[in-house]
Amino acid sequence: MKTKILILLSAFALVCTVDAQAQKLKKFGGLTEKKIGPKTIKVPYTDIVSYMGYAAPGNEDEVKDGKKFYYIYVWVPAVAPELGVRMMSPVGKTKIKGATASAAYTENAGSEEYFDTYITLERSDIISKDKISDEAVKNANWTTLERNDDSSEMPKQPSGSSYNSLLRYKSEAGDPLKALTVGLYRIGFTTYKTGEVKGTFLAQVAAPIKLPGVVMAKTIEDLKKGL
């Protein structure tokens, strides 16, 4: 009898552990902080654009420093004081209202595969949407503004490790290369360790002010369709 009880308790503990590790996104707070009672919180971003995709070996966009990089292109139509980017893998059962779901994600939405996310925020020298093309993007000058590997603010992955990513970047006055101007940006993502990138992911770009017309897409062709 004791053995049966122990087995039942072990099974219950396992279910609770799995549930506890299920990814649940908190509000996406920016750099501005506000004190509420004894707590200090990050004021949530007011504008968030979400994209759900699926990364698979063989369709990476570039191999850089020995790592396979994938890019999500973002058109930012107005000057922003600050941008936040976060990525979570896998998407699992997380529901995001208004998220753009790529065809690759839809085909693989039930996949349990995930990867240790590593993200970068880069800005190009393309400042007119009329100038966007595959050739222009290939020859553009890209400036890395910020990067992140592991963030304790993000949900833990099914393994129990805090390997999801989050970054925030504030425009630097007086440095044109570091300013958040109107233009074409991209989120670069890969894994921290050299290896394959495979699994579903959710990527979000956020700002503390409304930026009507922000478009996110995996390819330049899809981006231009949304402009």
The answer to whether 201 and 117 are in contact (CB under 8 A) is yes
pLDDT for residue 2: 42
pLDDT, one tens digit per residue, over 43-86 is 999 999 999 999 999 889 999 888 899 999 999 999 999 999 99
Residue 23 pLDDT level (bands cut at 50, 70, 90): low
Tokens of 151: 């963030």
Cβ neighbours for 170, distance < 8 A, ≥ 6 positions apart: 31, 81, 82
User: Mean of the per-residue pLDDT values for the chain?
Assistant: 88
pTM of the model: 0.87
Tokens of 36: 């509420």
pLDDT for residue 194: 76
- The average pLDDT across 211-215 equals 94
- The average pLDDT across 207-219 equals 94
Instruction: State the alpha helices, DSSP H only, in 112-218.
Output: 134-139
- The lowest-confidence range among 17-21, 96-100, 198-202, 216-220 is 17-21
Q: Which residue has the higher pLDDT, 88 or 19?
A: 88
The answer to whether 89 and 114 are in contact (CB under 8 A) is yes
Q: Which residue has the higher pLDDT, 33 or 168?
A: 168
